[in-house]
Amino acid sequence: MREWLRELGKEVSKEIGSDVLTVQWNWPVGKPLVDGLGGGLYEVRSTHQRKEYRVFFCISASTMVLLHAIVKKTRTTPRADLELARKRLREVVAR
């Protein structure tokens, strides 16, 4: 996650980081900032200069765990990215 954020640049990473921090400190949070994807998987929905960013996360032992993140380029979230986030969610739950 950190590398991905750094690659996006300072302005974008600050925007996304601010949204993640808002969710972390104000949980539970609903739409438009957070959407539930089922099975304990959620996404933080950030926008910067008309580009959409998604950070997939779960809550484990009262801790927000960031699982995966993407720049959203299509109307629907790519299946491979959702599957990766769900795989990581299962790994967190198994611990």
Q: Tens digit of pLDDT for each residue in 31-49? A: 999 999 999 999 999 999 9
Q: What's the pLDDT score for residue 62?
A: 92
Q: Are 42 and 57 in contact (CB under 8 A)?
A: yes
Q: What's the pLDDT score for residue 16?
A: 97
| Overall CATH class of domain 2-94 | alpha beta
Q: Are 60 and 93 in contact (CB under 8 A)?
A: yes
| C-beta neighbour count of 72 within 10 angstroms | 18
Q: What's the pLDDT score for residue 37?
A: 97
Burial class (CB in 10 A: 0-12, 13-18, 19+), 22: middle
Q: Give the global pTM.
A: 0.95
Taking the domains of the chain in order of start, what are their residue ranges?
Answer: 2-94
Q: What's the pLDDT score for residue 81?
A: 97
Average pLDDT over every residue of 2-26: 95
Going by pLDDT thresholds of 50, 70 and 90, the confidence category of residue 2 is: confident
Q: Using CA atoms of 6, 20, 22, 32 in order, give the dihedral in degrees to the nearest 10.
A: 120
- Res 27 pLDDT > 90: yes
- What is the 8-class DSSP label of residue 77? -
- Residue 58 CA to residue 61 CA, distance in Å, equals 10
- Res 23 pLDDT > 90: yes
Strand 63-72 and strand 41-48: pairing? unpaired
Going by pLDDT thresholds of 50, 70 and 90, the confidence category of residue 84 is: very high
